[in-house]
A and B are shown apart, each in its own frame.
Chain A
Amino acid sequence: MAEPLLAIEGLEAGYGPAPVLFGVSLTLAPGEVVALLGRNGAGKSTLIKAAMGLLPPRAGRLRFAGQDISGEAPWRIARAGIGYVPEDRRVFPDLTVAENLAVGRRPPREGLPEWTDSRLFALFPPLAPLSRRRAGLLSGGEQQMLAIARTLAGNPRAVLLDEPAEGLAPVLLEPLAGAILEMAKAGVAVLLAEQNLDFAAAVADRAVLLARGAVAFDGPMARVMADASLRESVLGVSA
C-alpha cells in the first residue's frame, strides 16, 4: 500500500459528557475507497466530524498529507485537502446549484485534475440542467449529488462521505455508486460511512468496521461480504 494520505491514530471524541469514540485508528491511501461500517450509534458520523475538526478530538492524532492536523479549525482542514459531505447534505437552500458550487470552489491541487463545473456536471448529469435552480427546490437525490459536487469543487485529495445512500430511492444508488468510483479513478480518496452494506460493497476496496466506538475489523471488503458471522456480530445484518 502507498504512503497513507490520511492517518487517524487513537482518536477519542464525543458529545458533551458522552464519549463515543474510544481510540480509533485507520488509514486512507490516495485513490482508495474505504467503507466505514457499523450500526447506528457505532460512531461513524462522530469519527467523520472529528476528522473534519467539527468535533474537538479529546485524544489521538490526525495526519493528512504529511501534516499534523489534530485540533485544527475545520476551514484549515478543508484547505489542507479534506472534503466533507454531511449526512443531511446541508446544501444552501437559498442559493442556486451553480452558486452552491461556487461557495465550495477552491483552487486545484497539484497532481490532480481540476473539478471544473463541466466535469462535475458530467459526473452528475441530472444537475446540469438545474444549475440555475435554487437548491432548496431540488429532490433529495439531486441535493445529495449537489452536496458531493460542492465538496469536489474544492478539489480535495480526500472526501469524507457520511451515509450518502441514506434515504435515496434504490434507483438512484447505482449512479451514485458510479460517481464514487469515478472520483476514486480520478485520484480522490474516499472514506464512506455507510449503513447500506450492498452499496458499500459495490464501491469499497477495504472496510473498517466500528462497534461501540472502536475498530472491530479492518480488512478487505470481500472478507466482510464472505463472512456472515462477522457481519452478524458487528453489523447485525443477516441475509
Chain B
Amino acid sequence: MEWGFWLAQAVSGLAGASALFLTAAGLTLVFGVCRIVNFAHGSFAMVGAYVAVTLLPPLLAWSPSLSVFLLGAVLSALAVAALGAAVELLLLRRIYRVPELFQLLATFGLVLVIQDGVLQLWGPEDIPGPRAPGLGHGVAILGERIPAYDLFLIAVGPVVLALLTLLLRATRFGLLIQAATRDREMVAALGVNQALLFTGVFALGAFLAGLGGALQVPRIPASGGMDLPIIAEAFVVTVVGGMGSVPGAFLASVLIGLLQAFGILAFPKITLVLVFLVMAAVLMLRPQGLLGRPEPPARGAIEGLAALPPPSPPLRALAVAAILAVAFLSDDYLRKVATEMLVLAIAAFSLGFLIANAGIVSFGHAAFLGAGAYAAALLSVRAGWPMEAALAAGPLFAGTLALLFGAALARMGGIYLAMLTLAFAQITHAVAFQWVELTGGDNGIVGVRPAWWASDRASYLLLAAALVLPAIWALRRVLSAPFGVLLRAARDSEPRALALGLPVVAMRVAAFALAGALAGLGGAVFAFSRGSVDPTLLAIPQSVDLLAMLLLGGVQAVAGPLLGAVALHGLKDAVMPLTDLWRLFLGLAILLLVLAFPRGLAGAWRRA
C-alpha cells in the first residue's frame, strides 16, 4: 500500500514532466539559435491542446486506434508549427535586433492576441480531450491503479529526447542548430541561410510545444488559462536545465515534475513555493543551470536608457492641486479612480526605477503589488489589525518578499532574471489562488474597511495621496543620491563597478526590496480603497499592464508612469465596455508599437 501510493505519485509527476519537457525543449532550442525568449511558447502549447481536442474526436470516430490518436497529436503539432513559422516570418524576423525588453514585450503581445483568438474560436468553456484508445484503462501495480496513459506519457519523454538527440547529431539541420547555438555569425559566414534556419528552428520549437499540449489532453482539458502556467513552468525548467541545453531541459523537467508530485504530500498548499525554492537553490550553486554553460553577461537589454530625471517642484504643486481638486470638487467615482491611479502610479514608478536605474526588467512586479494588498487585507480582516497598522504592514511584507526573491536570484542577470520574475509572479498568483483557507482562493478577501476617519472617499483619497506622493518624491530623491547614481553606474558597467569595489549584487537586492516595498504600499492602499483583494491583482497580465504604462507614458518623462497610468486606465475604461476583445487590442497595440518603432521607441527613450 505504502509503496503503491508513492509509485502512483511518481508516475503522475513523471507523466506531467514529459509534457513539460516537450514544451521546454522547444523553448530552449529556439533560445539557443534565435536568442529570443518567446513568452508565447506556452500559448503554442495551448493552441496545440485546442487543435487536438478539435481534431481527435472525428479522427477517432473514423478509426479508434492508438496510431490514429498519435497521428492526430502529430497533426495538431504540425498545425502549431505552421503557426510558429508564420509568427517567425511576420513578427520575430523584424525584431531580432531590437533591445531584449521589446522582444519580450512583443512576444507578450502575442500571448494576449492568442488568448483572445482562442476564446473567439473555441469559446470560454474548458474542452476535455478524448481518451487514447487502448490506454484508457488503469494498470494495477502494487495495489494501486495507475492510469495507462500516464505510463505511456512517461515513455514519450525519453523517446522524444532520443529523437531530438538523433536530429541534432545525425542531420545537417541538427548540426546547423548546434553550430548556430554556439556561433551564429560563423555559421552565416560559412554560407548557411540564416533566415531559413531561424524559421526552421522556430517551427520545430512550436511543433514541440504543440505536441506537448496535444498529448496532455487525455489528462487535462484544453482551457483558455493554461498558457501562462505552462510558460512559467517552462521558464523554470529551461533556466534550471541551462538555456539552450535539451538534455538539461529533460533533467530539469523530471526534477520539477517529481517535486510537484511529492511536494503535494509535504506541503499541499504551497507545492509551487517548494519548486521555486529548489530552483533558487540550483541557481545559487550553478547560475548557468544544471547542464548549461556559463555565458558572458547579457548586454543591451536596456542599453541606452538614461535614468529617471530628478524631481521637479512645479509638477509636485500640480499633482497636489489636482488631488485637492478631485477630493473636494468632484464625485465619489472620480475620487475612487484617482485613488487607484495613485496606486498604479507608485507601482509603475517603482518598476521604472528597477528597469531604468537598476537594469532589472521585471515581468512580475504585480506580485509585490498583490503581496502588499493581501498582507494588508489579511491583517485587517482576519487578524483584526487597525487600518493604520495594516497599511504599514503591506509595504513591509512586500519588501521582505522582494528582498528574499532578490537575495536568491539577483545574481542572475538580464533575460534570466526577467524570466524568473515571471515565474515568481505566476507562483505567487498560484499560492493566492490555491491556498483557499488563507486567501479565499478565487473569491479573495472581502470586507477590507478603512478606519472611521478615512471611510469616506474624499478622506481616503487624501490619505492615499499623503502616503503615495511623498513616497514617489522620496524615490525620486534616491535617484540622484549615491545609491541611485551608483546603481545606474553598475547598470552601465558591472565590471567597472566591481573593479571600483562596489557591492553590486547587494545593491541590486536592495533596489529590488525598495521597489517591492513601494509597490506593496500601493497594494495596501488599494486593498482599503477597493474593499477587497483577489488573485487577479497579482496575476501576470497585471504586471504587463504596469510595463505597458511605462511604455505608454515613457520611462523618461517626468510624469511618465503617471500619464501612462491615466492613459491605460482611460483606454481600458473606453474600450472594455465596447468589446470583448480587450486583450486582442492591447496585444496588437504592443506589437504595432514594437514593429513600428523598433529603434524609434528605444531612440525616443534615449533622447528624452
Contact = CB atoms under 8 A, between A and B. Distances in A.
Do A and B contact each other directly (Cβ–Cβ < 8 Å)?
Answer: yes
Interface of A: 52, 54, 73-75, 78-79, 84, 86, 90, 92-95, 99-100, 102-104, 106, 150-151, 154
Interface in B443-478: none
B324 to A, nearest CB: 50
Contact of A78 (B175, B183, B188): B188
B192 A75 contact: yes
Contacts of A52: 189
Contacts of A86: 186, 189
Main secondary structure on B side of the interface with A: helix
A92 B176 CA distance: 10
Give the residue among B188, B190, B194 with the most A Cβ atoms within 10 A: B190
B179 interface: yes
Interface string B157-196: 0000000000000001001101100110111111111100
A92 B178 contact: yes
Closest 5 CB pairs of A and B: A78-B191, A74-B188, A92-B179, A84-B189, A75-B188
30 contacts: A52-B189, A54-B185, A73-B194, A75-B188, A75-B189, A75-B190, A75-B192, A75-B194, A78-B188, A78-B192, A84-B190, A86-B186, A86-B189, A90-B183, A90-B186, A92-B178, A92-B179, A92-B183, A93-B182, A94-B182, A95-B178, A95-B179, A100-B179, A103-B176, A103-B190, A104-B190, A104-B191, A106-B190, A151-B190, A154-B190
A95 B169 CA distance: 9
Interface in B14-53: none
B179 A103 contact: yes
Interface in B28-85: none
B191 A54 contact: no
A95 B175 contact: yes
Nearest to A100: B179
B9 to A, nearest CB: 37
Contacts of A74: 185, 188-189
B299 to A, nearest CB: 14
A187 to B, nearest CB: 19
Given A52-B189, A154-B190, 11 more contacts: A74-B189, A75-B191, A78-B189, A78-B190, A84-B190, A90-B183, A90-B186, A92-B179, A102-B175, A103-B192, A106-B190
A93 B192 CA distance: 18
B113 to A, nearest CB: 30
Contacts of A100: 179
Given A86-B186, A90-B186, A94-B182, A106 B191 contact: yes
A79 B182 contact: no
A98 to B, nearest CB: 10
Contacts of B186: 86, 90, 92
